[in-house]
Amino acid sequence: MVPGGSQGAAAATSAQRKLKVLALHGYLQNADVFRSRTGALRKALKKHCEFVFVNAPHHIQVDLQGNDIVSCDGDDHAKCYGWWLAGPEGGPPREAKSAKGWETSLGVLEETLRREGPFDGLLGFSMGAAASALLCAAIESKRVSCHDQFKFALLFGGFVPRDPVLAESLRDAKLSIPSIHYSGLSDELVVADRSRELVGCFSEGVATFESHPQGHCIPSLREVREKCKAFVADRTNP
């Protein structure tokens, strides 16, 4: 008989379990694009994590001049999505004072947690980083019923939405999830102060703010990969 028997085998299986990470893409991206743009980071974390990439529910059609047009016909050829849309005032959703459609996205994410969870971590970029924090706030306030989710978050280019209701929900939450927040020194879309504002929505001591020398992206830099790898390794089951 093998020493330890079935209990030893169960312990070994538990020790080998990878952390499941929910990955939320940025505005005008989709799950497949986000998967391809996180290749270097995923490779660094492959020993510890498996990733589940999800499309936001709001399809955006982009015209030849680069203007965002909401598509209502279900045409999926552009494959550009958002977690919310700008309200009547228009402009880019990250600057809009109303976040049209966020409740629909929250429902999609809650269903994802039920169907594919529980999840151990979050990976979010830009609007996806903001959506990650909003999802955590909804869980902590019990607006979303799927509890026991998320031991950590890796957030790149994140921000607090301008929508006052969503902004207040984040500030009031004081999220307790350990997180790293990266901001690009050359990022002109989401400046560092906006990412620092998101850090302020987390409880003191659980969120770390980091800079990288590139723009609005998830960089493939070795120092970023290694820091994220060490951060996640600390949360891997022993």
Query: In which element (H, E) is residue 20 found?
Result: strand 19-24
Check 25, 169, 187, 212 and give the catalytic one: 187
The question of whether 187 is a catalytic residue gets the answer yes
Check 126, 179, 183, 195 and give the catalytic one: 126
| Contact yes or no for 4/34 (Cβ under 8 A) | no
| Contact yes or no for 160/170 (Cβ under 8 A) | yes
| Contact yes or no for 137/169 (Cβ under 8 A) | yes
Check 71, 176, 211, 216 and give the catalytic one: 216
3-class DSSP string for 120-187:
CEEEEECHHHHHHHHHHHHHHCCCCCCCCCCCEEEEECCCCCCCHHHHHHHHHHCECCCEEEEEECCC
The question of whether 216 is a catalytic residue gets the answer yes
Q: Decide: helix, strand or coil at residue 209.
A: strand
Q: Residue written as tokens 């990022």?
A: 187
The question of whether 63 is a catalytic residue gets the answer no
Sorted by sequence, the CB contacts under 8 Å of residue 55 that are 6+ apart come out as: 25, 30, 31, 81
Backbone dihedral angles phi then psi of residue 31, each to the nearest 5 degrees: -60, -40
- The whole-angstrom separation of Cα 104 and Cα 72 is 15
Catalytic residues: 126, 187, 216
